Amino acid sequence: MAPVGVFGHFNFYSDNDIIRLTYDGLCEIQRMALKGDLEAERFIRELEEVLRRRHGDNAVKKLIEVLSPAREEGAVDLPLEVRDDKGNVVARIVDLKYEFLENGKVVDQCSGENCRLRVVVEYELSSDERRQFKMEWYWAEKQIKKDNTTATYYYETARPRVKDDVEAAVLKTLTGKAKRGEVWLLADQLDALRRFKQLRVVVDKWRAGRPNIQYTLRQ
């Protein structure tokens, strides 16, 4: 895949075929992703990865700029009702806050392997009691060995602990995935959090600080 101009279009090479994707086409795929199309979400995420590997972080930032108008169109706002499996309203999500953490300390912004993103969910029960649920996103390592080289990649993940059925319903409303106990969240769930106006920009900023791929030679 090679970008042409300033994201005027993309050329995708597959065997002997060339598929050209225009600016409007990219935005339409982004709209599909915002509506819950998992293949579209995966396409956008993998496109960012390819651009980062081949052309660097500036290319990813330019892609984000191009897609920003489409992303804003489908942003979800608060408050948001939380329903259990029977359809009963058990809570309302009233606020979404965030913090950047570097080496365990709250900072204005950070990047790299030691930078984490903490999302703080504030919700109200039917009794008007307000509670918080937190999830902390971090960069986990994945190593791929080929010939004499080991490549270390980084992917986003979070493992919050869900203590009761209400927290499970809150998490399901936000990410589509939930159970009691430890829950393993991955890129698809972070994409779901990006639907919310309060988190969209900060998720993109944190992702832009993804650690670079590291290559080491094995003896």
pLDDT above 90 coverage of the chain, percent: 46
Average pLDDT over residues 81-107: 95
Say yes or no to pLDDT of 2 above 80.
no
Per-residue pLDDT, 155: 93
Residue at 162: amino acid letter: V
Per-residue pLDDT, 185: 96
Cα–Cα distance, 19 to 22 (Å, whole number): 10
Q: In sequence order, which residues have a C-beta less than 8 Å from that of residue 24 and are 6 or more positions away?
A: none
Per-residue pLDDT, 14: 43
Average pLDDT over residues 17-41: 75
Q: Is the peptide bond before 160 cis (omega within 30 degrees of 0)?
A: no
pLDDT bin (cut points 50, 70, 90) of residue 19 is low
Mean pLDDT value across the chain = 85
CB 94 within 8 A of CB 125: no
Domain boundaries, the chain: 2-73, 80-217
Question: What does the pLDDT look like over 56-66, one tens digit per residue?
Answer: 778 877 887 88
Question: What does the pLDDT look like over 97-116, one tens digit per residue?
Answer: 999 999 999 999 999 999 99
**H or E element: which one contains 186?**
none
Higher pLDDT, 166 or 51: 166
Helix axes 197-208, 57-73, angle to 10 degrees: 170
Q: In sequence order, which residues have a C-beta less than 8 Å from that of residue 84 and are 6 or more positions away?
A: 90, 165, 169
pLDDT bin (cut points 50, 70, 90) of residue 74 is low
Per-residue pLDDT, 7: 43
Higher pLDDT, 142 or 35: 142
